[in-house]
Amino acid sequence: MMRIALGVTGGVAAYKAAELVRRLQQEQIEIQVVMTRSAQEFVAPLTFAALTGQKVITQLFGAEAPANVESAIEHIAVAQRIDALVIAPATADIIAKLARGVADDFLTTLYLATTAPVVVAPAMNVNMWEHAATRENVQILRDRGVRVIAPEEGYLACGMTGAGRLAGLEAIIEAVLEALRIRRDLEKETVLVTAGPTCEDLDPVRFLTNRSSGRMGYAVAEAAARRGARVVLISGPVALEAPAGVERVDVRTTEQMHRAVLANLDRATVVVMAAAVADYRPARPYANKLKRGTERLNIEFEPTADILADVSRRKGDRVLVGFAAETAQLAAHARSKLKEKAADLIVANDVTAPGAGFDHDTNIVTIFGSDGREQSLPKLTKIQVAHRILDEVVELRRSTHRVGSSPEAR
Catalytic residue annotation: 158
- Residue pair 378/290 in contact (Cβ under 8 Å)? The answer is no
Task: State which of residues 279, 317, 361, 371 lies at the interface with ligand CTP (CB under 6 A).
Answer: 279
- The CA distance from 103 to 115, in Å, is 15
Judged by CB under 6 A, does residue 265 bind ligand CTP?
no
User: What is the full DSSP assignment across 17-30?
Assistant: HHHHHHHHHHTTEE
Coil, helix or strand at residue 328: coil
- Residue pair 192/270 in contact (Cβ under 8 Å)? The answer is yes
Spell out, one character per residue from 239 to 258, where the chain touches ligand CTP: x when CB under 6 A holds, - when not. ---------------x----
- The CA distance from 45 to 55, in Å, is 9
Judged by CB under 6 A, does residue 191 bind ligand CTP?
no
- Residue pair 369/337 in contact (Cβ under 8 Å)? The answer is no
Judged by CB under 6 A, does residue 277 bind ligand CTP?
yes
Q: Please identify, using beta-carbon distances, which residue of 308 and 364 lies nearer to ligand CTP.
A: 308
Of residues 335-354, those binding ligand CTP (CB under 6 A): 337
Of residues 210-229, those binding ligand CTP (CB under 6 A): none
Judged by CB under 6 A, does residue 324 bind ligand CTP?
yes
Of residues 112-131, those binding ligand CTP (CB under 6 A): none
Judged by CB under 6 A, does residue 385 bind ligand CTP?
no
Judged by CB under 6 A, does residue 322 bind ligand CTP?
yes
- The CA distance from 280 to 303, in Å, is 4
Judged by CB under 6 A, does residue 51 bind ligand CTP?
no
Q: Where are the alpha helices (DSSP H) in 116-274?
A: 126-130, 132-143, 169-183, 215-226, 254-265
Q: Contact region for ligand CTP (CB under 6 A) — 11-19, 93-101, 316-324, 365-373? A: 316-324
Q: Please identify, using beta-carbon distances, which residue of 325 and 386 lies nearer to ligand CTP.
A: 325
Judged by CB under 6 A, does residue 304 bind ligand CTP?
yes
CA dihedral 259, 264, 268, 274 (to 10 degrees): -40
- The CA distance from 175 to 168, in Å, is 11
Report in angstroms how near the CB of residue 205 gets to ligand CTP at its nearest: 24
Judged by CB under 6 A, does residue 56 bind ligand CTP?
no
Judged by CB under 6 A, does residue 320 bind ligand CTP?
no
Nearest to 257 by CA among 318, 201, 196: 196
Q: Please identify, using beta-carbon distances, which residue of 141 and 319 lies nearer to ligand CTP.
A: 319
Whole-Å CA distances, 227 to 44, 185, 271, 340, 391: 35, 6, 15, 30, 10
Of residues 159-178, those binding ligand CTP (CB under 6 A): none
- Residues lying near ligand CTP in the complex (CB under 6 A) are found at 194, 254, 273, 275, 277, 279, 304, 306-308, 322-325, 337
